[in-house]
Amino acid sequence: MAKTRKAKPLVAILMGSTSDMDQMSRASTKLKEFGIDHEVVVTSAHRSPAQTAEYASSAKRRGIQVFIVGAGRAAHLAGAVSAHTTLPVLGVPLESGALKGMDALLATVQMPAGVPVGTLAIGGSGAENAAILAAQILALADRAIAAKLDRFKKAMAKKVPGVVEQVVAD
Ligand code: RP5
């Protein structure tokens, strides 16, 4: 029987609630495509602040290199993580509640100077782009990931048809 390899997570995907999983799973799917080990964590800036602080401040020691952090509504999680680490933090504002992610977008993007959060688009596409960006950060020091990103870009370009029709207008 094939021996399963032990995970060596390089990326941590955090979210504020299990209700965020649908949108944030796109980050995990993309990282899997690039062959990047990661861990998925539900922790809240508001409901479990001590757990969040402990996780964020110990992650670098455990080999994590990039954080992807999604939260909805009054989204403080990415900022709280950034407060406890010098690793890059990619924030994903999630679509949740009456304001459909506009609240989370403003909360995530408007960090005060000194506590950076690189903010992606609202929702699943933001989560997916956060994973690609995380791969691009890791690729600076990892040729295998860089090669996978090159192939990904080429495959994406091939799917865009270019000129689809020439129309004679008379
Ligand atoms: C945020 O509040 C979470 O990130 C989630 O998007 C939102 C709602 O959480 P639940 O009440 O569904 O757990 O902190």
Ranges in the chain, pLDDT < 70: 1
Q: For ligand 1, is residue 30 a contact (CB within 6 Å)? A: no
Q: Are 10 and 64 in contact (CB under 8 A)?
A: yes
- Please give the CATH number for the structural domain made up of 11-145: 3.40.50.1970
Question: Ligand 1 pocket test: which of 14, 73, 81 has the largest number of ligand atoms within 8 Å of its C-beta?
Answer: 73
CA of 103 to the centre of ligand 1 (A): 12
Q: How is the chain split into domains, by residue range?
A: 11-145
> What percent of the chain clears pLDDT 70, i.e. is strictly above it?
99
> Would you state the pLDDT for residue 30?
98
Distance in angstroms (rounded) separating the CA atoms of residues 104 and 97: 10
Q: Are 50 and 127 in contact (CB under 8 A)?
A: no
Beta strand 89-94 with 38-42 is unpaired
Instruction: Specify the residue with its C-alpha closest to ligand 1, atom 14.
Output: 16
78 burial class (0-12, 13-18, 19+ CB within 10 angstroms)? buried
pLDDT digits (tens, 9 = 90+) for 112-129: 999 999 999 999 999 999
> Would you state the pLDDT for residue 166?
97
Distance in angstroms (rounded) separating the CA atoms of residues 125 and 100: 14
Distance in angstroms (rounded) separating the CA atoms of residues 59 and 143: 23
Task: Return the closest-CA partner of residue 85 out of 50, 111, 61.
Answer: 61
Instruction: Specify the residue with its C-alpha closest to ligand 1, atom 2.
Output: 72
> Would you state the pLDDT for residue 3?
77
Q: For ligand 1, is residue 72 a contact (CB within 6 Å)? A: yes
CA of 147 to the centre of ligand 1 (A): 37
